[in-house]
Amino acid sequence: MATKTGKANKSKVTSKKAAKNASKTLKSSKTSKASKSAAGSALSQRASAKQTTSKSAAKSASKVLKDGRTSKASKSAAGSALSQTPKSYKNSQGASGYKNSSKTGKPKK
SS3 content of the chain, % helix, strand, coil (to 5): 45, 5, 50
- Selection from 62, 65, 45, 54 nearest residue 99 by Cα: 62
Residues spanned by the domain of 48: 16-81
> Is the residue at 55 inside a domain?
yes
> Is the residue at 105 inside a domain?
no
For 48-97, what is each residue's pLDDT tens digit? 777 888 898 999 999 999 999 999 999 999 999 988 888 776 655 443 33
> Is the residue at 99 inside a domain?
no
> Is the residue at 6 inside a domain?
no
* Count of the separate structural domains present in the chain: 1
pTM over 0.95: no
> Is the residue at 108 inside a domain?
no
